[in-house]
Structure formats: C-alpha cells, structure tokens
Amino acid sequence: MFPYRHDFQIVGDDFYRSHPTPWPRRLRRRTLFLLVLLPLLLITETYVFLQPAVFESQALVLTTAATDIDQTHAEADLEHVNIQKQVLLGQPVLAKTTETLKQQAGIEHPNINQLKELFQVKPVADTNLVQLAAEGSHPQFLQMALNTWIKTYQQIRAEYIAEITDKASTSIKSELTRLEQQVRDKRQDIESFRLQHDILSLESTDNEAHARLQGLNTSLNAAMEEEAKAKAKLDAIHAAVAEGKAVVPEADSQSLAALTQQAERLRERLEAQRSQYTDEYIEFHPSLRNLKTQLAELDEKIASKEQAGSSYATQEAENAYGAAHRTVLTIQKQMAEHKQKAAEYTNQFAKHKAMQEELLKLEELLQQTKQRLVEIDVKQRQSNPQLDVVDWASLPDKPVKPDYGRDAGIAGAASLAIALLVVWLNDYLNKEPTLTTINSVTEFQIYQQSEPKLENNADNLTVGTERRNRLRRADDLKQLPDETTDS
C-alpha cells in the first residue's frame, strides 16, 4: 500500500465558454437576421412611402361684425362662436356647398357626409375668431371647397337676414299705420272735448272757472290768516288789561312815554328831598309841597291816558277781528256758491288731461316705431352679424402629414428590433448544453498527503502539499489567477 494518497481535481476554464462561436454558427445567425430584417424593411418602408400625402388648407373668419375705429372691441362670446360652429357644419350650409361644387367641372363631387368629414371648425381661444380647415390629398380642391363653403355660408346668412328684415319691416309698417290712425283719432276727440267744456288751454290757471276757484282759495287763505292775526292781537290786549298792563295805541304811545319820563324825574327829585327832609317839612314848605302835587297830577294824567288807550286799543282790535271774520264768512259763502261749478270743471279738466297723456303715449310709441323701422337693418346686423373673412383659404404647398422621414425612421428601428429579437429567441430556443472535455481542462492539481491511519506511525510527521503541477494546453495563453513562479 502506498503511504500517500493522491487527489486529482480537474477545473474547467470558463474562458472557452465565452470564446466566439464557430464560423458556421455565426453565419447561420447572420443569415437569419438578414432574412427577418430585409423583408420587414421592405414591407414597412413601402407602406410608409406609399401613404398618400395629406394637405391642409386653412381660413380665418370673424363671427361678429367688425367694430368701428372709435369703438371698443367686442368681448369674446364663446356661446356665439359655438353656435356659428354648429351652423357652419349644419345640413343647410353643407347641402348648398355640395350643390355649388357640383356645378364646378374637373373636380370630384363629394356628398354632404364627405364634406362634413372634410371640414373642420376650430375656435381660437378667448376670441371671436374661428379657424376653418380642410384636409385631403388634392390641394386645389381643398382651397376651392373651403372658399366655396365660406361663400355659401355668407350667402345663406345674407338671404336669411334679408328675409327676416323684410318680415320685420312689413310688420312694423303695419303697426306704424295703425298707430298714426289712433293718434289722429285721439287728437280729434281731445279737440271736441275741449270745445265742449270751454277749456282754453292745457294749463288750469288759464281757464275761467279754475282761475275763479283758485282766486277764491287764495283770498280765503289770506282772510283766514288776517282773522287769526286779529284774534291773536285781541286776545293779547285782553290778557294785558287783565294783568294791569298799559295798552295804548301807536299814536298815543309817544306822548304817554314822555309823561312817564317826566313823572319819573319828578319822583326822583321827590325821593331826593325825602332823603334830606321829613314829610312834615315837605308839607310845610311851599315849593316842596308843590313838587309833590305836580307828581300826583302827572300820575293821574298818565293813568287816565292809559285807561283811555286800553279802551281804544281793545275796541280797535275787536273791530279788526270782526272785519276779518266777516271777510272769511263772505269768501266761504262765495266758494260754496262756486263749489258745484268748480267740481264739474275739475272733473272735466282731469278727463282732458288724461286724454292728453294718452295722446302723448301714443305719440311716443309712434316715434319709437318709426325709429325701429329706421334702425331695423342695423339691429339685424348686430343680432345676426355677417361672417367677416380675415384670411381666405390658401393653396397648401406641402403636406401636413404623414411625416415620411419620421415614419421611415420608426419603421426601420422597429424592423431592426424585431430582427434582433428573432435571432435572440432562436439562440435561446436552440441552445446546446456545455460538456467539459480535455480541450477545456485548464488545471490539473495533484495533492500529496499521508493517509490518516499512518500519521501516528510516522512520528507525527506533518506532510503538506509539496507541489502543484499545472497541465495546460500549449495554445492556452490565459493567465490563471493563482499561478506562481516555481523557485
């Protein structure tokens, strides 16, 4: 038995697994790639470049009447724009457009459904502008169809406005004739009523009955005011007399005032003498006694004059009050006599005034109707504005779609991707298992080691790996990661 056990390990090298595929296999892959790519390219590119060119003709229109230069621009009316969109694509406009196009020679004659698919209406945001467009393969036809569509709409719109304007004018003229007859009849009725009731003018102050009544009212008011003043003056005199106050007429007031002042001076002199002398001495002394006598006579004269003046003032106030009261009674009696006549006149004048107001209303209505007749055309244009063409349809010079360059690039990229996918699927489905052969052996390791049961008998001598022998192919130049140089 050998004292050593030899262990062998064969390690496969992954380098050859990643080595390029042999030439026949690569040829098959390239052939498959080209067989898939070329037909796909031919089909897709042919489809792309055989697509018909689509042209687009555009026109820009304004759905409201253009404003004058001195007026502000009309605000955007989205509802009106949407209504015009529906009208443009409506059956009447498209049917009329179809009939017009059928009269043109040398072009195709589409039907209503084809025109509805051909035409497009695109409102411009926040404006009253509408962009009209048509797409197709014939540029000249698109331009003609789009302009014919616009002209047809304008014609139908003009005919509609003319029709409703004529109807409105006829109706207003009939109403105008009726109003003129009513105004003439009303004026005749007013004139007959005025002559019958002797009404001179529209102003009540110019008529005799009313003027008389108004004068009596004014006089009565003045008389009652005078009566009230006289009564107040009489009451004031009575109150003053009752309180012991002097009441004198204006004519006696100055003389009474002079007497009063003279009495006051004598009284002051007497009071001054009394401060110096006693009453017995004053009575004994002639000059001083005379001063006292003069003052007493003067006071008596003042009292007499005040009494006479009060009586005169009272009598004068009573006479004035009586006269004012009699005046009021007289005027009231006269007004009572004219009461029935005044009431009748007031009633007739009110009727006359009401008839005048009715005539005024009829005349105003007549004037408004005449104004409506004058402005009917302007109002119809405002409520039904014509389509103002900002830019007529132009002849398109290049197609808007398809984009041949972009579509060809997309088709080529898609064909390339499909071809690569087919090749990868083919490799994946036909993959062969990898077997380790002598051609793939890159390392042969020999380990020398004592058997476990002989270790104790060999004096515990540790035997390790003495050497590694590497067996490599002569044409294998791959550097192993654990390869070292023997010393």
**How many C-beta atoms lie closer than 10 Å to residue 148's C-beta?**
19
Rounded to two decimals, what is the model's pTM? 0.44
Q: Considering the chain, what percentage of its residues have pLDDT values greater than 70? A: 59
- Asked if residue 429 has pLDDT above 80, the reply is yes
Find all residues with CB under 8 Å of 321, minimum gap 6, and list them.
227, 230, 231, 233, 234
- Asked if residue 91 has pLDDT above 60, the reply is yes
Banded model confidence at residue 83, pLDDT cuts 50, 70, 90: confident
- Asked if residue 461 has pLDDT above 50, the reply is no
Better-predicted residue by pLDDT, 264 or 14: 264
Q: How many angstroms separate the Cα of 148 from the Cα of each of 133, 153, 154, 394? A: 12, 9, 10, 13
Tell me the residue length of the chain: 487
Closest CA to 90 of 70, 115, 57: 115
Banded model confidence at residue 294, pLDDT cuts 50, 70, 90: low
Closest CA to 314 of 252, 225, 240, 224: 240
Banded model confidence at residue 472, pLDDT cuts 50, 70, 90: very low
Better-predicted residue by pLDDT, 148 or 69: 148
**How many C-beta atoms lie closer than 10 Å to residue 247's C-beta?**
20
* H helix intervals, 250-285: 250-276, 279-284
The whole-chain average pLDDT of the chain stands at 71
Better-predicted residue by pLDDT, 485 or 234: 234
Distance CA 123, CA 85 (A): 8
- Asked if residue 204 has pLDDT above 80, the reply is no
Distance CA 448, CA 247 (A): 171
Better-predicted residue by pLDDT, 17 or 222: 222
Distance CA 17, CA 13 (A): 8
